[in-house]
Amino acid sequence: MDLLHLAGATTTPFYRDLSLTYQRNVVTPTGTHASLLVVDPDGNLHFGRNQEDLAPITLADALHRAAAMDVVVPHMFCPPGMTSWRSLFEDVAGVPVVGPPLLATTLSTSKLATKSVARAAGVATPDSRRLRPGDRPDLPLPLIVKPDAEDNSLGLTLVRDPADLGPALDTVFAHGDTALAERFIPGREVRVGVLDLDGAPRVLPILEYHVTADRPIRERADKVMLDDAGRVTMESWERPSLPTTCPADLGPDTLRALRDAALTMHEVLGCRDYSLFDFRIEDGTKTPYLLEACSFWTFTPVSVISRMVEAEGGDLVDVSRRVWAQAAARKK
């Protein structure tokens, strides 16, 4: 199986660095032959066998080389990388891309769109408001303010004091002109993954982040640690700042509600191969509230879906190979 790993970013060096950090640690199943295409924020492209063997390439040549590949494995996290770059290879070049298709990733990239789909499907979400520059949310405190289309908690603020709302809005609009405010859900935070393999989607063991009263949300430093030069490090994965449990210790009713909600979202978003969702389980009511959809899996040991696969007793390398082969079979 000939693979093309698609990495880099079109927006910021942070996203490019994050993408390459993950791609460097991707699994390598026996019988696969990999090439790498890296997209830079300045628009330049580089192609090679790995990150140490990259040379400049034009887009036309990259698409020509991609046409000979069996499947594209995406590692881009910026909004264009999650949407248009995936579509370029699958819909234009005709090379299958591992993971959810364009419609699903477009909806998932927008937290507001994800919530609209969830509400229409009967999945609970926190009360939220769309924000544009100059808006002030009409929600009671505490509330969460975050960009609509950023990941890794970039621009996110938990606002408890009215005096902190103005700075939070300044922060969020530094990441774009569309944001949202949503009711803060006090309680537990979990991630729910769906593995859609051989036509039978199933929920993997659920992972819990043990937030506390002092650290009630996951912030950017809990997800990605940077060094003094601003480069992504592996520290947040090697020495996580919040303890986790997988599988989470959940009661049968909560477990059933989370599984139903994740499978519903997987279906209504139009996901395939895999999907991943963040939920808060409200204290007292035990109601799971969907926070966002995360339409990516890096196929590295530190990836959340990878940890779920291994918690289920699966072999990460073999499962990755099977998922890639399933995507490759879509090639016409």
- pLDDT tens for 285-320 read 999 999 999 989 999 999 999 999 999 999 999 999
> Do 168 and 223 fall into the same domain?
no
Q: What is the pLDDT of residue 121?
A: 98
- C-alpha span between 129 and 205 (Å, rounded): 32
Asked if 102 and 83 count as a contact pair (C-beta separation under 8 A), the reply is yes
> Do 136 and 240 fall into the same domain?
no
Residue in this structure with the two tokens 């034009």, named with its chain if needed: 58
- pLDDT digits 0-9 by tens, 93-110: 999 999 999 999 999 999
Q: Among the three residues 160, 183, 206, which one is the final residue of a domain in this structure?
A: 183
Q: What is the pLDDT of residue 154?
A: 81
Collapse the DSSP code of 291 into the 3-class scheme (helix H, G, I; strand E, B; otherwise coil) and give the result. strand
Going by C-alpha positions, the residue among 5, 232, 256, 11 that lies closest to residue 109 is 11
Residue 113 has pLDDT above 70, yes or no: yes
> Do 174 and 149 fall into the same domain?
yes
> Do 31 and 92 fall into the same domain?
yes
Q: What is the pLDDT of residue 218?
A: 79
> Do 178 and 191 fall into the same domain?
no
Residue 190, beta-bridge partner list? 208, 279
For residue 91, what are the domain limits?
2-98
Q: Among the three residues 98, 117, 146, which one is the final residue of a domain in this structure?
A: 98
> Do 289 and 199 fall into the same domain?
yes
Beta-carbon contacts of residue 218 (< 8 Å; ≥ 6 apart) = 153, 189, 209, 211, 242
> Do 117 and 172 fall into the same domain?
no
User: What element of type H or E holds 292?
Assistant: strand 288-293
> Do 245 and 282 fall into the same domain?
yes
Q: What is the pLDDT of residue 224?
A: 65
> Do 179 and 189 fall into the same domain?
no
- Mean pLDDT in residue range 127-133: 96
> Do 218 and 112 fall into the same domain?
yes
Q: Among the three residues 168, 183, 198, which one is the final residue of a domain in this structure?
A: 183
Cα 324 off chain centre by: 18
Give the total number of structural domains in the chain: 3
- pLDDT digits 0-9 by tens, 177-227: 999 999 999 999 999 999 999 989 999 999 999 998 888 887 766 666 667
Q: Give a yes or no: residue 323 inside a domain.
A: no
Residue 141 has pLDDT above 70, yes or no: yes
Q: Give a yes or no: residue 260 inside a domain.
A: yes
Residue 160 has pLDDT above 70, yes or no: yes
CATH number for 113:
3.30.470.20
- C-alpha span between 68 and 320 (Å, rounded): 21
For a pLDDT cut of 90, what percent of the chain falls above it? 86
Q: Give a yes or no: residue 256 inside a domain.
A: yes
Q: What is the pLDDT of residue 292?
A: 95
Q: Give a yes or no: residue 54 inside a domain.
A: yes
Residue 262 has pLDDT above 80, yes or no: yes
Q: How confident is the model at residue 155 (pLDDT cuts 50, 70, 90)?
A: confident
pLDDT, mean over the chain: 93
- Mean pLDDT in residue range 113-142: 96
> Do 212 and 291 fall into the same domain?
yes
Q: What is the pLDDT of residue 214?
A: 87
Q: How confident is the model at residue 151 (pLDDT cuts 50, 70, 90)?
A: confident
Q: What is the pLDDT of residue 201?
A: 97
Cα 122 off chain centre by: 22
Q: Give a yes or no: residue 325 inside a domain.
A: no
User: What element of type H or E holds 46?
Assistant: strand 45-48
- pLDDT digits 0-9 by tens, 237-254: 666 678 999 999 999 999
Q: Give a yes or no: residue 217 inside a domain.
A: yes
Asked if 46 and 37 count as a contact pair (C-beta separation under 8 A), the reply is yes
CATH number for 71:
3.40.50.20
Q: Give a yes or no: residue 274 inside a domain.
A: yes
Q: What is the pLDDT of residue 236?
A: 61
Q: Give a yes or no: residue 71 inside a domain.
A: yes
Residue 58 has pLDDT above 90, yes or no: yes
Q: What is the pLDDT of residue 231?
A: 75
> Do 113 and 231 fall into the same domain?
yes
Residue 59 has pLDDT above 80, yes or no: yes
